[in-house]
Structure 1
Amino acid sequence: MLIVLAATGLVGVLTASTAQAGISAASHGLSADGYFYAARDAYGKGPYCRWSTSDPDWSTCNRSDGIGTIGGMRNRASQIFNNTNKAVIVYWGLNYTGAWRCLPPGKAYDDLSRWGFPPNGDGDGETMDDNISSHKMVARCP
């Protein structure tokens, strides 16, 4: 899949094994593909997972090409991108528990080390980097 960013003139190739430009490119205005993405490294680098529904436990996830797993993304994500038409709430704890932050459609946090969980549950004040355990898709942010 070739990704062209008209605003910046950048071109990237999205592959299941690298995701070097895929998630980061998507966060700059491409149309929604219905998936919520999490990458192991900031700015969409490294292995990543994608979901089309809520997930109460990020311990396992399918690779974006659907041909296996990468061993899970729980407490391993350093970048997230909501490329759906719904809001996505990410949680510090399993089963949608603990501190949370909501991402409206099209929102990306390209470097989670720069973001923390707000004071709304266990894990409040902690960095979001390597600290997300579950997510829920909802109609809109609370």
Structure 2
Amino acid sequence: MRKFRTLLAVGTLTAALLAVPATATTAGAATADASGVAADGNYWVWEHTNRGGAACGWSGNDADWRTCGSSGTFNMNDKASSWWNNGYAGSLGDVRVYEDINYGGASTCAPNGSAGNIPWEWNDRISSHKWVTNCGY
């Protein structure tokens, strides 16, 4: 069963969190400044760098990013430019992202606690993700 949440939060894909206020919004989203926030169990992505624009957060796997958000109508497919793995440490704490829908194509991994802007070679290319036990690096 796929679970997801839409919310404003912080995050991006380097090892350190940036001290930039969250600005992401989607229908039904709440605002938050997650500086120092404990793990919420979600993998977060934003459509722009530095956590800008619309955001989606998932607590489970998602094979198709064309539908996310509280109403399932927001399309994040090939739109993510920043991310934050705010999952729980331990088993299934890392997130493997895929270039194609249904976990296809090239993949890369976001270790638990990682955050930052998505590197240029992956920017606007991610279409699905799975929680995994270990990124393998």
TM-score between the two structures when normalised by the length of structure 1: 0.68
C-alpha deviation, 1:128, in angstroms:
0.8
User: Is contact 2:46-2:81 (8 Å) kept?
Assistant: yes
How much is the aligned-residue C-alpha RMSD, in angstroms? 3.0
Q: How does 1:91-110 map to 2 (within 5 A)?
A: 91-110=98-117
Say which one has the larger Rg. Answer: 1
Percent sequence identity over aligned pairs:
35
1:87 aligns with 2:94: yes
Secondary structure of 1:40's counterpart equals strand
User: Is contact 1:47-1:70 (8 Å) kept?
Assistant: no
Q: Which runs of 5+ in 1 are unaligned?
A: 117-126
Give the partner amino acid of 1:130: D
The ranges of structure 1 where at least 4 consecutive aligned residues each deviate by more than 3 angstroms after the TM superposition are: 10-19
Secondary structure of 1:95's counterpart equals coil
> In the comparison of the two structures, how many residue pairs are matched?
115
Partner of 1:123: none
C-alpha deviation, 1:139, in angstroms:
1.4
C-alpha deviation, 1:109, in angstroms:
2.6
Higher relative contact order (CA 8 A, sep 6+): 2
Q: Which runs of 5+ in 2 are unaligned?
A: 1-6, 10-16
1:129 aligns with 2:132: no
Which structure has more helix as a fraction of its residues?
Answer: 1
TM-score between the two structures when normalised by the length of structure 2: 0.70
